[in-house]
Amino acid sequence: MKRRILVLMGGVSREREVSLVSGAAAAEALRSAGHDVRTHDLSRDVGALVQEIEAHRPDVVFNSLHGRFGEDGCVQGLLELMGIPYTHSGVRASAIAMDKPATKRAVEQAGIRTPRGRVVRRDDFALGDPLPRPFIVKPVAEGSTIGVRVVAEGDNRDWSADWSYGDEALVEEYIPGRELTVGIMGERALAVTEIRFEGAAFDYTAKYTSGHASHLLPAPVPPEVYDAAMDAALVAHRALGCDGISRSDFRYDDRRPGAEGLFFLELNTQPGFTPLSLVPEQASHLGIGFAPLCEWLVGRARCHA
């Protein structure tokens, strides 16, 4: 069925450039499938988006935005008010997933292990280390590992210097070992990928700079760890009430027995979306091409309210 589709992309978050790439890839794939596709680079001029929707009244909005204001429930709320079906998760799941401490609480209540940690207010930054070193510092509401800092033993740098991510930070124990990620498509865990990269954390540079990371699919981990990661990703997807696709990231300390070294880190409701991105790569591994994956998301588009 041919549909009028509006692809939202760009936006005003720190992940703008990544979103432009994701949106362009989705738009090209959907056009190749025969759909009538328009694109809109979201700005703070909300009226421009409203005018675009009212003028062309799309059947579906394909949300390719990443980060704040596009992945955190804000745009989803506007689309709910306008009665326009959209891809990916609804307002509630999007808002919770963008809030790392809220996500941490939700998945822990569902029985998923996360690193020991707590929220630290900016006023407390000067009181010394909030946890024994090594620990990791994260913005409470940013995507793509933006702003993540690893504080190691003997590191004399001020870990709180130049903090520009709000009045709070999430501080967690640093889990040594390997980075794993699992994509969810509907009610199905796709696969486990191991990501190998330079440095102590899979940060923004490692994610989006060519040559800084490699993907091992399927991840070369013991079967019980592979299965535990698949199960935990699906539990997290359900616990937050996600829809469409999501991607859960894990740290695996392979010095611990069995799956005891597997720790959930975060969940992305709108992960990177090009043919080479992690979730489409896992889908392709299972025989699902990029264009069919985009069409599958369009077919699931809905209002959630």
* The pairing of beta strand 188-197 with beta strand 178-185: antiparallel
Catalytic status, residue 90 = no
164 pLDDT higher than 90? no
Q: What is the mean pLDDT of the chain?
A: 91
206 pLDDT higher than 70? no
Catalytic status, residue 15 = yes
Beta strand segments in 72-134, E: 117-121
Dump pLDDT digits (tens) for 266-299.
999 999 999 889 999 999 999 999 999 999 999 9
Q: How far apart are CA 86 and CA 245, in angstroms?
A: 13
Catalytic status, residue 164 = no
Domain at 96-114+176-292, CATH homologous superfamily: ATP-grasp fold, B domain (3.30.470.20)
CB contact at 8 A, 209 and 200: no
Joined together, the tokens standing for residue 74 give 């804000």
Dump pLDDT digits (tens) for 112-162.
999 999 999 878 877 888 899 999 999 888 765 677 889 888 877 776 777
Q: Could you give the maximum distance between any two Cα atoms of the chain, in Å?
A: 61
Annotated domain spans of the chain: 4-87, 96-114+176-292, 117-173
Catalytic status, residue 249 = yes
CATH number of 117-173: 3.30.1490.20
Its CATH class, for the domain covering 4-87, is: alpha beta
Catalytic residue among 22, 64, 144, 246: 144
In this prediction, residues 43-50 reach a mean pLDDT of: 94
205 pLDDT higher than 90? no
Catalytic residue among 172, 266, 281, 295: 266
What's residue 275's pLDDT?
86
DSSP label at residue 127? G
2 pLDDT higher than 80? yes
In this prediction, residues 35-63 reach a mean pLDDT of: 96
What's residue 167's pLDDT?
83
What's residue 44's pLDDT?
92
Catalytic status, residue 99 = no
Catalytic status, residue 247 = yes
- Across 228-253, b (16+ Cβ under 10 Å) vs e yields bbbebbbbbbebbbbbbbbbbbbbbe
Catalytic residue among 64, 246, 268, 277: 268
Q: How far apart are CA 289 and CA 156, in angstroms?
A: 48
Catalytic status, residue 268 = yes
Catalytic residue among 36, 113, 208, 231: 208
Catalytic residue among 3, 10, 15, 203: 15
In this prediction, residues 163-188 reach a mean pLDDT of: 92
- Percent of the chain clearing pLDDT 90 (strictly above): 78
Alpha carbon distance, N-terminus to C-terminus of the chain: 25
More confident site: 174 or 160: 174
What's residue 204's pLDDT?
46
Catalytic residue among 3, 14, 149, 247: 247
Catalytic status, residue 208 = yes
DSSP label at residue 200? S
pLDDT band at 165 (very low <50, low <70, confident <90, very high): confident
Phi, psi of 296 (to 5 degrees): -60, -40
Catalytic residue among 172, 179, 243, 249: 249
What's residue 147's pLDDT?
79
Dump pLDDT digits (tens) for 246-273.
999 999 999 999 999 999 999 999 999 9
Catalytic residue among 272, 277, 281, 295: 272
